[in-house]
Amino acid sequence: MRMSKTLAALTAIAACGISAAASADNLLGFYVGAGAGESQIRSDDSRYGYPGYFDDYQTAWQGFVGIRPISLIGVEATYIDFGQPYRHHGAFDYNVSGSDSHPTAAALFGVGYLPIPIPFIDVFGKAGVARLSTNLTDFVQQPCNFNSPCPNFVPTSRHQVTDTRFAYGAGVQSRFPFGLTIRGEYERISSSFGDPDALMVSVLWQF
């Protein structure tokens, strides 16, 4: 009987601890999410005499975690992969030269929510900093022949540029029962190689 009482008391204490932890999580408004969409990747490189010589659309994806301790303000950490274009431009005689870039970024945003009187709908804007990593590859097209595909692009150099940049975005989200939220948003990062941006649709779950 004493053992049963002790076990019941320990169970009650554990349940209280779990309940308190869950309440603390709810107070912070912790959430996780992931999404995908379409990005636009630009090149402002003028080495070949073609400023902005590619402007490509690719599939992008992201994952993020965040907290929203009060209804008007939150903080969000995001990883974004903008995709990789495969456009090579710049004709010189019978050869073609060009580059592509693959931007990815880890970003930290402050998120502000508009105080609109519409239940279950949030309109938000966000701004912050991103650690933008751009993988650059230069290509030269080889003359076509019967032994190689045409066009036959050969990479001549690869290098990575990493820098801290300003990032911003805006969007709207709709909240559903059980912590589920559907979000649509626009995100953009400043870059000397052409600002990568994306339109994303995401699903997030708030604990």
DSSP per residue over 75-135, as a string? EEEEEEE---------EETTEEEEEEEEEEEEEEEEEEE---S-TTEEEEEEEEEEEEEEE
Q: Report yes or no on 5 lying in a domain.
A: no
Taking 90 as the threshold, does the pLDDT of residue 191 lie above it? no
Q: What is the pLDDT of residue 22?
A: 44
Hey, is 8 helix, strand or coil?
helix
Q: How many domains does the structure of the chain reveal?
A: 1
pLDDT band at 192 (very low <50, low <70, confident <90, very high): confident
Q: Report yes or no on 20 lying in a domain.
A: no
Q: Greater confidence, 159 or 91?
A: 159
Q: Report yes or no on 131 lying in a domain.
A: yes
Q: How far apart are CA 188 and CA 126, in angstroms?
A: 10
Q: Report yes or no on 58 lying in a domain.
A: yes
pLDDT band at 199 (very low <50, low <70, confident <90, very high): very high
* Cβ-Cβ contacts under 8 Å for 149 (sequence gap 6 or more): none
pTM recorded for the entire structure: 0.73
Q: Report yes or no on 23 lying in a domain.
A: no
* Per-residue model confidence as pLDDT tens digits over 129-161: 999 998 777 666 666 666 666 666 666 667 778
Q: Greater confidence, 182 or 207?
A: 182
* Cβ-Cβ contacts under 8 Å for 139 (sequence gap 6 or more): 88, 97, 98, 99, 100, 153, 154, 155, 156
Taking 80 as the threshold, does the pLDDT of residue 95 lie above it? no
Q: How far apart are CA 167 and CA 41, in angstroms?
A: 15
Hey, is 11 helix, strand or coil?
helix
Looking up residue 130, the CATH number of its domain turns out to be 2.40.160.20
- Which domain covers residue 189, as residue numbers? 30-206
* Per-residue model confidence as pLDDT tens digits over 49-66: 444 456 778 899 999 999
Q: Report yes or no on 112 lying in a domain.
A: yes
Q: Greater confidence, 5 or 118?
A: 118
Q: What is the pLDDT of residue 93?
A: 39
* Per-residue model confidence as pLDDT tens digits over 24-36: 455 899 999 999 9
Q: Report yes or no on 194 lying in a domain.
A: yes
Q: Report yes or no on 110 lying in a domain.
A: yes
Q: How far apart are CA 80 and CA 92, in angstroms?
A: 35
Q: What is the pLDDT of residue 157?
A: 67
pLDDT band at 38 (very low <50, low <70, confident <90, very high): very high
